[in-house]
Amino acid sequence: MKNLIYITSVIFGFLYAQNELFIPETMSGNEFNLSLQNGTTQLFDGDATETMGANGGNLGPTLIFEQGEFVNINVANNIGEETTIHWHGMHISPENDGGPHSVIMPGETWNPNFTVMDKACTMWYHPHLHEKTNEHVTKGITGFIIIRDDEEAALDLPRTYGVDDFPLNLQTKQFDASNQIVIGEHGDNVPMVNSTIDAFVEFPAQVVRLRVLNGSSMRVFNLGFSNNSTFYQIGSDGGLFSEPISMDRLLLAPAERAELLVDLGDMTGESIELKSYGSTLPQSAYGITGLSTMQGVAPSGYNSNELNGNDFILLGINVGAQTDNPILTIPSLLVDVTPIDESEATLTRNLQITAPNMMQNSITGPFVFDGQSFDMNVINQTVQLGDTEIWEIFNMSMVAHPFHIHDVQFYILDRNGVIPPENERGRKDVVLVKNMETVRFIAKFEDHADDEVPYMYHCHMLQHEDEGLMGQFIVEGESVGIDNSITLPNDFVLFPAYPNPFNPTTTIRFKLVTSQQNASLRIYDISGRLVETLLNEKLIAGEHEIKWNGGNNPSGVYFISFETGEFFSNQKIILIK
Ligand code: C2O
Ligand code: CU
């Protein structure tokens, strides 16, 4: 694998290898081409490991998206079998979301395109084909998505990729005697960071930002540094906090992300380790000892897996020289966070996680929601567009499950009635629900609706997901945006106005494939009265952009109407004054 450097040294007679941490390349702009492919990676001495990746044989590039930008992505499937690609955590329409219904046939290319609406944060992409997610992810198709926005850009934070800002995809995997990846047997005893085993990295002696993802298919990490130093969490799955939160341990379940700051300012020449303190994981978390003996039959590999119940090293860190213009202090304030108030919810939805055969299936499952295993043809929930809902997840099974929902970022209201720890009060799309725990979260389902294509909710332990701990929901209503506004999809696209709701201006963008003799863009109010004519002229083919500042009009709902002789489209926007 390119960019991987192997340094081998003989220590005390053992062959001890330390490998420099692999840092994926970045891609940015508005056009992204990803080619999913098979490869081989030399992870051990001897046989190479069969892996999968995007634009390479293992892992995928880090995609850098700017909030408000329109991105067009081509995903070519060259792995020789069906798969999908899901943009985990992003607020995009069901069609572009890449769930199990958006199958990319081998040899075909899928072309999602959308406006990036999310706040600055760390997200990721991975396959989501039903019953194959675990295999495709574990073999290596995962990549980071870094979203940037103006609010984040104004802060004094490290943000030079690979210099003071590092993506860390933490995984544990199982390998067989010929170094091949084993799926679903609970013997995941090899820790890896960005697919590097026994990884080390050199960080500069200053404040360093870590974008940490738990990319494991099952394991929960309890992160900390070997010198027990304090570090600061500055953001959760979907955005930054209002201020840094200091800690010396961080629990991170599969698919959760955390942005961390660690101050290495006075540590030049020293070495520390990033570890998972598996000996102090909470009850029912995958990775404790004795999980399988509490009830039922032990799954084959779990009890003999030496990582379970133990502390282990993920990443060796050598502190090197300071860079130019280093960030040397932890900022005291970050961004405005406005949690959704419980009073805004119009509905509470209850979901129960059970194992149909409780006595036998303490870890391996299969598990189900509300007694029903996932069925591609069954819509389990219907949500009304624009509604704010509380989802209440009760876990009656013996193992903790990381619950994930597509489309939205949510705020956790409580765990068994108790307000969650400070670092769980920000924007989230995954929450670990422990054995006999009830977690309530609140979310608003806005912008995207589709009568046909559902969004998913599921456990992000990939074996559980593949075996049926997943459900799907439709968002019903008239979507503000691309999905129902395309009249002639091949000739004309009206992109979602952004921001929306807006104050003081929104940007309206559309694309014409052929020039139009006469095109108009008008704003109407909710009673159909013409408010303003923004365009009424000949328009050439290409992308057009126009801003509307709301004029002297009051707060409320307005409609953008685009019209030519051939087609018509409209879109709802909301002005807030
Ligand atoms: Cu990260 Cu539905 O997935
Ligand atoms: Cu689960």
Q: Is 286 helix (H, G, I), strand (E, B) or coil?
A: strand
Q: Are residues 361 and 451 in the same domain?
A: yes
- Distance between the two ends of the chain, CA-based, in angstroms? 54
Q: Are residues 433 and 556 in the same domain?
A: no
**86: CA distance to ligand 1 center in Å?**
7
Q: Is the CB of 404 under 6 A from ligand 1?
A: yes
Choosing from 448, 476, 504, the residue where a domain stops is 476
**287: CA distance to ligand 2 center in Å?**
13
Is 145 within 8 Å of 171 (Cβ atoms)?
A: no
Residue-level pLDDT at 68: 86
**98: CA distance to ligand 1 center in Å?**
9
Any residues with CB less than 8 A from the CB of 147 and at least 6 apart, and which?
65, 66, 67, 116, 118, 119, 120, 121, 122, 123
Q: Is the CB of 458 under 6 A from ligand 1?
A: yes
Q: Are residues 468 and 516 in the same domain?
A: no
Q: Is the CB of 119 under 6 A from ligand 1?
A: no
Domain CATH code at residue 517: 2.60.40.1930
Ligand at shortest distance from the CA of 145: 1
Q: Is 97 helix (H, G, I), strand (E, B) or coil?
A: helix
Q: What is the pTM of this model?
A: 0.84
Q: Is the CB of 406 under 6 A from ligand 1?
A: yes
- What is the tally of helices (H) and strands (E) in the chain? 5, 42
Q: Are residues 357 and 468 in the same domain?
A: yes
Lookup result for tokens 């389902």: 445
Alpha carbons 181 and 576: distance in angstroms, whole number:
53
Neighbours of ion ligand 2 (CB under 5 A): 401, 459, 461, 464
Q: Is the CB of 456 under 6 A from ligand 1?
A: yes
Q: How many domains does the chain have?
A: 2
Q: Is the CB of 148 under 6 A from ligand 1?
A: no
Locate the DSSP E strands across 181-325. 181-182, 190-193, 196-197, 199-204, 207-214, 221-225, 231-236, 239-247, 250-252, 257-263, 271-277, 311-320
Is 72 within 8 Å of 63 (Cβ atoms)?
A: no
**429: CA distance to ligand 1 center in Å?**
9
Residue bearing the CA closest to ligand 1, atom 1: 88
Is 400 within 8 Å of 253 (Cβ atoms)?
A: yes
Q: Are residues 346 and 471 in the same domain?
A: yes
Alpha carbons 129 and 124: distance in angstroms, whole number:
16
If you write DSSP's letter for every residue of 159-211 in order, what string do you get?
Answer: --BTTTEEEEEEEEEEE-TTS-EE-SSS---EEEETTEETEEEEEESSEEEEE
Alpha carbons 522 and 551: distance in angstroms, whole number:
13
Beta bridge mates, 458: 404, 470
Any residues with CB less than 8 A from the CB of 145 and at least 6 apart, and which?
62, 63, 64, 65, 87, 88, 89, 90, 122, 123, 124, 125
**128: CA distance to ligand 1 center in Å?**
7
Residue-level pLDDT at 563: 83
Q: Are residues 351 and 441 in the same domain?
A: yes
Q: Are residues 370 and 394 in the same domain?
A: yes
Q: Is 515 helix (H, G, I), strand (E, B) or coil?
A: coil
CA-CA distances (angstroms) from residue 265 to 262, 330, 494?
A: 9, 11, 49
Q: Is 424 helix (H, G, I), strand (E, B) or coil?
A: helix
* Residue 64 host element (H or E): strand 62-66
Other CB atoms closer than 10 Å to residue 45's CB: what's the count? 10
**262: CA distance to ligand 1 center in Å?**
28
426 is in which domain, residue-wise?
342-476
Do the bridges between strand 199-204 and strand 14-20 make them parallel or antiparallel, or are there none, so unpaired? parallel
* Residue 383, in any domain of the structure: yes
Residue type, 215: G
Q: Are residues 452 and 567 in the same domain?
A: no
**461: CA distance to ligand 2 center in Å?**
5
Q: Are residues 380 and 498 in the same domain?
A: no
Q: Which atom of ligand 1 is nearest to the CA of 99?
A: 2
Is 210 within 8 Å of 191 (Cβ atoms)?
A: no
Write the DSSP symbol of residue 135. H
Any residues with CB less than 8 A from the CB of 14 and at least 6 apart, and which?
none
Of the CA atoms within 13 Å of residue 300, those in its CB half-sphere come to 7
* Residue 67, in any domain of the structure: no
* Residue 500, in any domain of the structure: yes
* Residue 266, in any domain of the structure: no
Domain CATH code at residue 463: 2.60.40.420
Choosing from 415, 441, 476, the residue where a domain stops is 476
Beta bridge mates, 222: 251
Is 294 within 8 Å of 285 (Cβ atoms)?
A: no
Is 295 within 8 Å of 241 (Cβ atoms)?
A: no
* Residue 563, in any domain of the structure: yes
Q: Which atom of ligand 1 is nearest to the CA of 430?
A: 1
CA-CA distances (angstroms) from residue 26 to 5, 42, 328?
A: 19, 22, 25
Torsion over CA: 252, 411, 102, 469 (sign): positive
* Residue 311, in any domain of the structure: no
Do the bridges between strand 516-525 and strand 530-539 make them parallel or antiparallel, or are there none, so unpaired? antiparallel
Alpha carbons 262 and 207: distance in angstroms, whole number:
6
Choosing from 476, 500, 531, the residue where a domain stops is 476
Ligand at shortest distance from the CA of 407: 1
Q: Which atom of ligand 1 is nearest to the CA of 88?
A: 1
Lookup result for tokens 């820790």: 191
Q: Are residues 410 and 499 in the same domain?
A: no
Residue-level pLDDT at 526: 75
Residue-level pLDDT at 134: 98
Q: Are residues 365 and 418 in the same domain?
A: yes
Q: Are residues 465 and 545 in the same domain?
A: no
Q: Is the peptide bond before 489 cis (omega within 30 degrees of 0)?
A: no
* Residue 167, in any domain of the structure: no
* Residue 529, in any domain of the structure: yes
Per-residue pLDDT tens listing for the chain (577 residues): 334 444 433 333 334 458 999 999 999 999 999 999 999 999 999 999 999 999 999 999 999 999 988 899 999 999 999 999 999 999 999 999 999 999 999 999 999 999 899 999 999 999 999 999 999 999 999 999 999 999 999 999 999 999 999 999 999 999 999 999 999 999 999 999 999 999 999 999 999 999 999 999 999 999 999 999 999 999 999 999 999 999 999 999 999 999 999 999 999 999 999 999 999 999 999 999 877 655 556 566 888 999 999 999 999 999 999 999 999 999 999 999 999 999 999 999 999 999 877 665 667 789 999 999 999 999 999 999 999 999 999 999 889 999 999 999 999 999 999 999 999 999 999 999 999 999 999 999 998 999 999 999 999 999 999 999 999 999 998 765 443 333 344 677 788 888 888 888 898 888 887 788 888 899 988 777 889 999 888 888 888 889 999 888 888 888 888 887 777 777 888 888 7
